[in-house]
Homo-oligomer: A and B are copies of this chain.
């Protein structure tokens, strides 16, 4: 049978256990031109929370009763498509379920000889590409600049910091708790770290970014974004990648009251959507793959087994109980 996680209601705030329902249905048969994927790994991303809201955004919301949208790695187990071979692995929007059919559109072949499969939905997938294009194309780092990253131990943030180091920047990471901070400094080579759970964020930014901030890569929003704005150097870039602290807010999103610092410092705050870069994913994968190969980028995945653990695992995206890329393995 195909186990499928369907969206049952639109949550107010943090999703609860009845937000989704796990159902079973017959395994679908691939039509002419289609293949059947067995889904092996499901990517868990903070952005998924946004897709559950019924608002105008960069992609349509997941419909009530639909399979929860997610990036996945699938194995081809049946094929009516001459271009896609049984036994090959693909990355694509498979959703939170154990099987899916597709004509292959939007799926990319991945090679388990080049990297472990989960990496293709992590550092060699959407989060890695988000870090790569967000930092390089929007942030435009120059050697010697100070790059501040929030959510620094996360799937995106941990790669942002490492690419910034490769580009010759001084990198300061913000994460929650001493363990993550130690990981950033000792394993990923961050120059300085801020434990936002145990430090005053304003003071800590001031003392770790003594020469100001040239790039602030924001994954969290809220108070941390607001504090970072007060320390911008001239012509700084604030890259708006996400706002984890706000995604489950039941009141208005907290706007950055210090936004006029953009004027004083002649800076810009800019958003981006990784889907715009699809045509350049190949190039990014080659470059990131090279950095992984030569040890300049360390990639960490945290893998939880079992589709029935989706809800609890999803919440770990927001309560900070994870390090690196969070992945659900479908058994």
A contact set with B: CB distance below 8 Å: 56-58, 221, 226, 240-243, 246, 252-273, 276
CB < 8 Å neighbour of A273 from B57, B241, B263, B272: B263
- Check B259 against A256 for contact (C-beta < 8 Å): yes
- Check B272 against A263 for contact (C-beta < 8 Å): yes
Known contacts A242-B263, A253-B258, A259-B240; A270 and B271 CB within 8 A of each other: no
CB < 8 Å neighbour of A270 from B240, B256, B264, B268: B268
* Chain B residue at minimal CB-CB distance from A263: B271
- Check B268 against A276 for contact (C-beta < 8 Å): no
- New A-B contacts (8) at CB < 8 Å, excluding given A254-B257, A268-B271: A57-B264, A255-B255, A255-B256, A255-B259, A262-B270, A264-B271, A266-B273, A268-B268
Chain B nearest Cβ from A296, distance in angstroms: 28
Instruction: Please name all residues of chain B whose beta carbon is closer than 8 Å to the beta carbon of A271 when the two chains form the complex.
Output: 260-268
Copies in the complex: 2
* Chain B residue at minimal CB-CB distance from A265: B271
Instruction: Please name all residues of chain B whose beta carbon is closer than 8 Å to the beta carbon of A266 when the two chains form the complex.
Output: 270-273, 276
Instruction: Please name all residues of chain B whose beta carbon is closer than 8 Å to the beta carbon of A264 when the two chains form the complex.
Output: 56-58, 271, 273
Counting chain B CB atoms within 10 Å of each CB, the highest count among A56, A243, A255, A267 belongs to A255
Instruction: Please name all residues of chain B whose beta carbon is closer than 8 Å to the beta carbon of A273 when the two chains form the complex.
Output: 263-264, 266
Chain B nearest Cβ from A26, distance in angstroms: 37
Counting chain B CB atoms within 10 Å of each CB, the highest count among A56, A57, A252, A257 belongs to A257
CB < 8 Å neighbour of A269 from B243, B258, B259: B259
Chain B nearest Cβ from A226, distance in angstroms: 7
Q: Top 10 nearest A-B pairs by Cβ distance? A: A255-B255, A263-B271, A262-B271, A255-B257, A268-B270, A255-B256, A253-B257, A269-B269, A252-B257, A268-B268
- Check A260 against B253 for contact (C-beta < 8 Å): yes
- Check B255 against A226 for contact (C-beta < 8 Å): yes
22 contacts between A and B (CB under 8 A): A58-B264, A226-B255, A240-B259, A240-B262, A240-B263, A246-B260, A253-B257, A253-B258, A253-B260, A255-B255, A255-B258, A255-B259, A259-B259, A262-B269, A263-B271, A263-B273, A265-B271, A266-B272, A267-B271, A268-B268, A268-B269, A269-B269
Chain B nearest Cβ from A44, distance in angstroms: 19
CA distance A240 to B256 in the complex (A): 14
Chain B nearest Cβ from A205, distance in angstroms: 14
Counting chain B CB atoms within 10 Å of each CB, the highest count among A57, A266, A273 belongs to A266
Instruction: Please name all residues of chain B whose beta carbon is closer than 8 Å to the beta carbon of A270 when the two chains form the complex.
Output: 262, 266-269
Instruction: Please name all residues of chain B whose beta carbon is closer than 8 Å to the beta carbon of A262 when the two chains form the complex.
Output: 240, 269-271
Counting chain B CB atoms within 10 Å of each CB, the highest count among A226, A243, A253, A268 belongs to A268
Chain B nearest Cβ from A233, distance in angstroms: 12
* Chain B residue at minimal CB-CB distance from A270: B268
Instruction: Please name all residues of chain B whose beta carbon is closer than 8 Å to the beta carbon of A272 when the two chains form the complex.
Output: 263, 266
